[in-house]
Amino acid sequence: MARQRSFVPILVILILLHAYIGLRLLPALDAGPVGMLAGTVLLAASAVLVRIGLVAPSLRRTRWSESLTWAGLLAMGLFSSLFVLTLVRDVVLLMGMVAGERGPALTRGSAVVVPLLALAVTFIGFINARRVARVVKVEVPIDGLPEDLHGYSIAQISDIHVGPTIRRPYLNAIVTKVNALKPDAIAITGDLVDGSVQRLAPHTEPLARLSAPDGAFFVTGNHEYYSGADQWVAEVRRLGLRVLMNEHVIRRRGRATVMIAGVTDYTAQHFEPTHKSDPHQAAAGAPDDVAVRILLAHQPRSAPAAAAAGFHLQLSGHTHGGQFFPWNLFVPLQQPFVAGLNRVRSLWVYTSRGTGYWGPPKRFGAPSEITLVRLVPGRA
């Protein structure tokens, strides 16, 4: 009963939002009674499918659950673009009215363009999301970098979101591409999964193939806490990865040492008080001769604490680079960085756009990435 009660209010909101789209576009299309009826039915179906998409990770397994999941998540992506473009159209029409240039041609023409453009963006976004992430190479200058650490490399993958539409073959292709880079170390910076170990363990098995001389490391993201963090920590360890929970390891290259540390997700204490994220604790007890301190932290907003703890580089994810327009515009409301290499005092912060996607299989203007980070001497 609780699930049903929570289902209804959100569905009502979705129906109202779809009604707005219908009222703004269908009369302007002048498609007659049949067209109005067909458009209304499609919008009503979309409202229901989007609601299903929102609960896709927890759908009970049935004969139709996989098909419904795909339909719901595709509908979610299309609805997002359709709603935003309808709003943009209304702004354009209002500006036209103010300028005295609004007429039947603009009204009808824009009503035709909106759904066509929404479909085009959704199709292109689907292709972008489902292809194997490209490799992005990033050089991070470190002042006083010992010669033995010149070119030290870490392959970072983040925000894969194994779950409703991302399964074993998708992850397997990522692992193969990461291993081909032959990095010194591998870092998974959170949001690996969307679902329970019971459901998804067969699909995360490819992680056992990750291989690097200095090891493969994992830190939790917020979605691990939605999906049973303790169980996933145990499962990732079973696969042979080192889970860093406010702790570090030391790796040596010749006469130089590098520290690879990791913290739990920035919001972890809200789910498990003992998991509070703490960069200072992650660095505690490190040898005095450590040349480079690297922190794996799911969310970029861990950066101020990481800088205060003396780290040189933080690798993060979480933002997806916004995943698709216009959500990239809202990321700065929560995070200090959207994507790329940035600076917080003496700390470099690299924010990955993510290697998979969350929710709709859609990426537009924010391509997925496998990041190869290399340490190079500072230019000072």
Task: For residue 7, name the pLDDT band (cuts at 50, 70, 90).
Answer: low
Least confident of 58-62, 81-85, 164-168, 272-276: 58-62
Would you call 83 helix, strand, or coil by DSSP?
Answer: helix
Which whole number is the average pLDDT over 104-114? 90
Ordered by where they begin, the domains of the chain are: 2-130 (no CATH), 134-377 (3.60.21.10)
Would you call 94 helix, strand, or coil by DSSP?
Answer: helix
Q: Of 233, 172, 183, which Cα lies nearest the Cα of 207?
A: 172
Residues 338, 359: Cα–Cα separation, whole Å: 18
pLDDT at 102 over 70: no
Task: For residue 344, name the pLDDT band (cuts at 50, 70, 90).
Answer: very high
Residues 75, 46: Cα–Cα separation, whole Å: 6
For residue 149, the model assigns a pLDDT of 97
Task: For residue 1, name the pLDDT band (cuts at 50, 70, 90).
Answer: very low
Residues 152, 312: Cα–Cα separation, whole Å: 14
Residue 248: beta bridge partners?
Answer: 261
Which whole number is the average pLDDT over 149-163? 97
Q: Residue 116: what residue type?
A: L
For residue 64, the model assigns a pLDDT of 81
User: What percentage of the chain carries pLDDT values higher than 70?
Assistant: 97
pLDDT at 89 over 50: yes
Rg (CA), the chain: 23
Which whole number is the average pLDDT over 76-90? 96
Q: What is the mean pLDDT of the chain?
A: 93
For residue 267, the model assigns a pLDDT of 96
For residue 349, the model assigns a pLDDT of 98
Q: Of 47, 268, 257, 69, which Cα lies nearest the Cα of 148?
A: 257
Q: Of 136, 205, 196, which Cα lies nearest the Cα of 172?
A: 205
Burial of 210 per CB tally in 10 Å (0-12, 13-18, 19+): buried
In sequence order, which residues have a C-beta less than 8 Å from that of residue 5 and are 6 or more positions away?
none
The model's pTM is 0.93
pLDDT at 291 over 60: yes
Least confident of 27-31, 143-147, 230-234: 27-31
134-142 vs 153-157, strand pairing mode? unpaired
Task: For residue 319, name the pLDDT band (cuts at 50, 70, 90).
Answer: very high
Residues 16, 33: Cα–Cα separation, whole Å: 21
pLDDT at 4 over 50: no
Q: Which residue has the higher pLDDT, 336 or 1?
A: 336
Which whole number is the average pLDDT over 70-85? 96
Residues 130, 143: Cα–Cα separation, whole Å: 39
Task: For residue 54, name the pLDDT band (cuts at 50, 70, 90).
Answer: confident
Task: For residue 6, name the pLDDT band (cuts at 50, 70, 90).
Answer: low
